[in-house]
Structure 1
Amino acid sequence: MKPRWMCGAVVAVAWAGSATASEMVTATLVGGSRVTAPLLRRNDDGVVLDLGFDVLQIPAKKLLDVRSEESAVPADGDHEHDIFRTARLEAREVPELVKRFGEAVVMVRNPGGLGTGFLISRDGHLVTNYHVVENNTRLQVTLFRKTDKGFEKNEFRKVRIVALQPLRDLAILQLDPDETQGKLPEPVVLNDRDDLRVGDLVFAIGNPAGLERSVTQGIVSSTTRTIDQMRLIQTDAAINPGNSGGPIFNARGEVVAVACAGAAVFEGLAFGIPANELIDFLVHRDTYPYDESQPQNGVTYLPPPFQPGLPAEGVKSLIPTP
């Protein structure tokens, strides 16, 4: 009996005859479920696994990962990198990932509006968009902590601006340890492998229009979208004003992008700054220190002293005049 592909579902059909020895693989499905079995076939449509008396067909859009048992890479433990951490986590259901990392997502307020941010260290460092804090020095961060009676708001008003990168629309803030008293939730984990693929499941947590802790889900539409000379991740997960600066997670719960823009007139069109750009900013943050005398920018770029062809005042031109 020939295997049949059914769109949008994982199905098993009877397989006549005995299967030959095949490569043993572990298939991770969207949502975190795993199946380990001999691999009969793999192509752009998906995979076919031998379960003995049955054959399991898994469509490509339901697959998160397929790895050989011999070369399978296990989930790595946390790798500390100064003020942030990276790891390869196990795939899980989205509600479980939201429960684990949702408390690390905060609301960032300035006198003129609000955005989202997320904790990256136990020392109170957090990331948001530059445009969320642009031209503001008085910031307030709201943390949402799970209690027996629901979520409790913790307000922090002593917020220090650590570094700004306006060209990448990124900012690093830090909460005051006297206010936090070491009582911060688990920080997020950053993805440093740059392995995001078109079609991968992603979800965002943020505060669109001030609606706290909103979760939206979608897929990756493009990993190489370029806008204003910036490489961005495109997704159809809903990103609205207030989501700016919030994390975009993959199906493992790793931050793969920082939400930065959504189209006001189109649905399913949103963008995020890739995690590798964020990591580069974090590693080289000393290059973009915040200067209180220049609150609009972490780095001051001086204009050239004169335009080409026009000598500066008081300098004799070496170019002969006709």
Structure 2
Amino acid sequence: MSDRSLFLSLFVALTVITGLLGFYQYSSFENIRETQAAQYQAFQQSLQKTQGEIQAEIAAVNDELKSLLDVRTSALEQEFSGKVSTVERVVNQTRKESERNIDVLSSQLEKIEQSSSEKIATLEDQLKSVRVTNKDFSAIIKDIIKAVVSVKTDTGIGSGVLVDSRGYVLTNYHVIRGAAKAAIITFDNQAHPVKLVGIHEATDLAVLQIGDGGDFTALDFEDRESRIEVGAKVIAVGNPGGLEFSVTEGIISSAKRKINEVLYVQHDVPINPGNSGGPLVNIQGNIVGINTQKRSGFEGIGFAIHAEVADQVAREIILKATAGS
């Protein structure tokens, strides 16, 4: 065989071997690629499955957490609501107890104030009695005189006493009988118009009212018989002889003297024209009678319409006058 033939044979053999090697390599590469593709697909499927399982577990955990959270929230809300109710109940109980305590304290304070006021009033009365006994009524005259008035008419002059702070004045009927004009002069020397409210001829009493109204100082009637007794000191305040707001002193001679079925207090206080209708006052500053007359021809015998009678007549006249208002 020549060299040329040998070379060709070797070339062909080398080409075949190279082709076989190339085919083998290609086949191996394809197998590897297919294997890798299958593995990748399997990995993706496994990953997707794992991802789905994880998501399902997460969802389950979320649901469980949400359920636990709802349960816990509900429990906390119930617990909080219960505590709020308890606090509200305690607050309400405390408020009610405080209100009760305040009511009790207020009641106690009112009782203390009332008791203190009563004690102070009693002490003031006692002090007035002591001062009056020692100083001849000078301690209370300034208070009494504020309630005493002059009743001036076109026929004469008399006295009166304020028995109601609304301006009602009690006097003798004979002081204003037949008068066409009248006026009230108060302690401060102020003149006021006056109107007739009512009369009681049997007791010689009349009630007038200061026409322009106002808030006046008034005297109370004595309602204790023990203070209207024989020997008790009294004063008469009025206008004797036209002298404004004069005061005369004496004692009670008879606590209950009936004359013509009318009850009087007999006393020895000098009674002069102008005293009629003025008050007879005891050391407590209360009215024991309304001075009305003097026994002619005798000194030291005067009469005042008893406080019991005067009070009743005044109340009836005022009540009748105000019944329709």
Q: What amino acid is the match of 2:187?
A: F
Gaps of at least 5 residues in structure 1 are: 1-72, 78-86, 146-152, 290-322
Are 1:112 and 2:143 an aligned pair?
no
Q: 2:278 aligns with which of 246, 266, 284?
A: 246
Partners of 2:318 and 2:286 lie apart in 1 by: 25
Name the counterpart of 2:203.
168
Name the counterpart of 1:99.
142
Higher helix share: 2
Partners of 2:157 and 2:314 lie apart in 1 by: 23
> Aligned pair in 2 of structure 1 residues 263, 124: CA closer, same or farther (>3 Å)?
same
Q: Specify the SS of the correspondent of 2:203.
A: coil
Q: Mapping of 1:1-322 within 5 angstroms?
A: 91=129, 92-93=131-132, 94-145=137-188, 153-156=189-192, 158-177=193-212, 182=214, 184=216, 186-195=217-226, 196-285=228-317
Q: What amino acid is the match of 1:192?
A: D
TM-score by length of 2: 0.56
Q: What amino acid is the match of 1:193?
A: R
Name the counterpart of 1:12.
none
Q: How much has 1:99 moved relative to structure 2?
A: 0.9
> Aligned pair in 2 of structure 1 residues 286, 143: CA closer, same or farther (>3 Å)?
closer
Deviations 1:22-65 (Å, cap 9, x if unpaired)?
xxxxxxxxxxxxxxxxxxxxxxxxxxxxxxxxxxxxxxxxxxxx
Q: Specify the SS of the correspondent of 1:192.
A: coil
Partners of 2:179 and 2:320 lie apart in 1 by: 17
- The runs of at least 4 aligned residues of structure 1 exceeding 6 Å deviation read 286-289
Deviations 1:158-203 (Å, cap 9, x if unpaired)?
21111100101111110123xx5x364x211211223311111111
Q: How much has 1:285 moved relative to structure 2?
A: 1.7
Contact 1:241 1:262 in 2 (8 A): no
Q: What amino acid is the match of 2:196?
A: I
Partners of 2:277 and 2:225 lie apart in 1 by: 19
Q: How much has 1:282 moved relative to structure 2?
A: 2.3
Partners of 2:231 and 2:224 lie apart in 1 by: 17
TM-score by length of 1: 0.56
Partners of 1:88 and 1:261 lie apart in 2 by: 31
> Aligned pair in 2 of structure 1 residues 232, 267: CA closer, same or farther (>3 Å)?
same
Deviations 1:268-302 (Å, cap 9, x if unpaired)?
1100001110111123226876xxxxxxxxxxxxx
Larger radius of gyration: 2
Tell me the C-alpha RMSD between the 2 structures: 2.5
Contact 1:121 1:187 in 2 (8 A): yes
Partners of 2:159 and 2:175 lie apart in 1 by: 8
> Aligned pair in 2 of structure 1 residues 89, 263: CA closer, same or farther (>3 Å)?
farther
Contact 1:89 1:254 in 2 (8 A): no
Q: How much has 1:138 moved relative to structure 2?
A: 2.1
Q: How much has 1:223 moved relative to structure 2?
A: 1.5
Q: What amino acid is the match of 1:175?
A: I
Partners of 2:157 and 2:318 lie apart in 1 by: 26
Q: What amino acid is the match of 1:174?
A: Q
Q: What amino acid is the match of 1:109?
A: K
Contact 1:218 1:236 in 2 (8 A): yes
> Aligned pair in 2 of structure 1 residues 286, 100: CA closer, same or farther (>3 Å)?
closer
Q: What amino acid is the match of 1:275?
A: A
Contact 2:168 2:208 in 1 (8 A): yes
Higher strand share: 1
Q: Specify the SS of the correspondent of 2:280.
A: strand
Gaps of at least 5 residues in structure 2 are: 1-117
> Aligned pair in 2 of structure 1 residues 171, 89: CA closer, same or farther (>3 Å)?
farther
